[in-house]
């Protein structure tokens, strides 16, 4: 079972669920199709992807919202849909949110399709065998993509180095608005605004702040620029910048769907 990439769009990647920036959307796509939660799928940035299915299958598209068509007819989002052989699945520009997620019944075969590499035109995607012909009967709560005109509000808790900074720095971090920078990438959401005082306290605190430390997704780093960076799924294993805050796990998917230029509020 397979499909061919006719046009890859701005960026389309094959990713395991732990590598995507909106995990809830990938989980939903797999659940709708009866796939195991470990099944790999596609992350489509903004749209532009066009797939031609060599063999029949079933798909579910979640995450961002825009016009998605199957052989020219609008495809319903957040729903499992049968795809006949030879059909063309095409993604229009996302109007809400930033990233579409595409699950395919049986999952994408990771051994044959490299993960975390952008797909190119002509690339072949192979799928695993579907688990039966019926879709699971389950109630899934409706998920709406982010409105790019509204601020993204995420909750944060103090990070392991928060005590190295004064109360004013924390107050400004969690009360002043931030803007998602266009320099953001899969490794980190870079926030622009009025820089914070990134100099920790004297002595041991300053020395400890310069040490390399293990990094987790959702960590809010405070580099020397004073502009916070939220570590996302593609983050490096370690970082030297202090972790002043940590985004709540249930809110981290929102950061992955935010658009450059969108306002972000970090609530402490």
Give per-residue pLDDT as tens, 3-16.
999 999 999 999 98
Overall average pLDDT of the 27-54 stretch: 94
User: What's the chain's length in residues?
Assistant: 268
Q: What is the mean pLDDT of residues 168-172?
A: 95
**Among residues 33, 186, 30, 219, which one has the least CA distance to residue 115?**
186
Instruction: Spell out where the chain has E strands.
Output: 2-8, 12-15, 41-45, 49-53, 57-70, 73-74, 80-83, 88-104, 124-126, 152-158, 178-180, 188-192, 213-214, 219-221, 229-231, 238-239, 243-247, 263-267
- Residue from 146, 244, 253 nearest 189 by CA: 253
105-164 confidence digits (pLDDT tens): 999 885 555 556 789 999 899 888 776 666 776 666 666 788 889 999 999 999 999 999
With beta carbons less than 8 A apart as the criterion, state whether 246 and 223 touch: no
Cβ atoms within 10 Å of 268's Cβ, excluding its own: 13
Residue-averaged pLDDT of the chain: 89
Burial of 90 (0-12, 13-18, 19+ CB in 10 A): buried
Token representation of residue 99: 């990233």
pLDDT value at residue 253: 95
Give the whole-angstrom CA distance, residue 129 versus residue 148: 37
Identify which has the larger pLDDT, 206 or 254.
254
Instruction: Compute the average pLDDT of residues 172-194.
Output: 95
Identify the pLDDT of residue 240: 86
d(CA 144, CA 140): 12
**215: three-class secondary structure by DSSP:** coil
pLDDT at 236: 87
Mean pLDDT of 240-259: 95
* Cα separations in angstroms, 77 against 29, 65, 194: 10, 8, 39
């Amino acid at each position: 079972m397979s499909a061919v990439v006719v046009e890859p769009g701005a960026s389309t990647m094959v990713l395991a669920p732990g590598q995507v920036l909106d995990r809830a959307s990938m989980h939903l796509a797999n659940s709708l199709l009866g796939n195991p939660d470990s099944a790999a799928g596609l992350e489509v940035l903004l749209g532009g992807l066009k797939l031609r299915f060599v063999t029949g299958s079933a798909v579910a598209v979640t995450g961002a919202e825009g016009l998605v068509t199957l052989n020219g007819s609008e495809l319903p989002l957040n729903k499992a849909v049968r795809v006949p052989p030879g059909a063309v699945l095409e993604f229009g520009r996302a109007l809400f949110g930033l990233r579409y997620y595409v699950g395919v019944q049986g999952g994408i075969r990771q051994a044959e399709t490299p993960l975390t590499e952008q797909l190119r035109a002509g690339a072949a995607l192979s799928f695993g065998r579907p688990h039966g012909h019926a879709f699971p009967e389950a109630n899934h709560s409706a998920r709406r993509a982010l409105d790019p005109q509204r601020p993204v509000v995420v909750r944060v808790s103090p990070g392991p180095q928060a005590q190295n900074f004064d109360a004013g720095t924390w107050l400004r971090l969690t009360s002043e608005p931030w803007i998602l920078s266009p320099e953001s990438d899969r490794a980190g959401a870079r926030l622009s605004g009025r820089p914070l005082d990134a100099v920790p306290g004297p002595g041991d605190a300053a020395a400890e702040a310069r040490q390399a430390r293990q990094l987790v997704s959702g960590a809010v780093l405070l580099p020397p620029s004073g502009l916070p960076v939220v570590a996302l799924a593609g983050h490096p294993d370690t970082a030297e910048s202090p972790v002043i805050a940590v985004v709540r796990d249930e809110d981290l998917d929102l950061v992955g769907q935010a658009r450059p230029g969108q306002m972000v509020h970090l609530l402490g």
